[in-house]
Chains A and B, each alone.
Chain A
Amino acid sequence: SQTIHQWPATLVQPVGSPLSLECTVEGTSNPNLYWYRQAAGRGLQLLFYSIGIGQISSEVPQNLSASRPQDRQFILSSKKLLLSDSGFYLCAWTLVTGGGYTFGSGTRLTVV
Chain B
Amino acid sequence: DAMVIQNPRYQVTQFGKPVTLSCSQTLNHNVMYWYQQKSSQAPKLLFHYYDKDFNNEADTPDNFQSRRPNTSFCFLDIRSPGLGDAAMYLCATSRMGVRYEQYFGPGTRLTVT
Q: Do A and B bind each other?
A: no
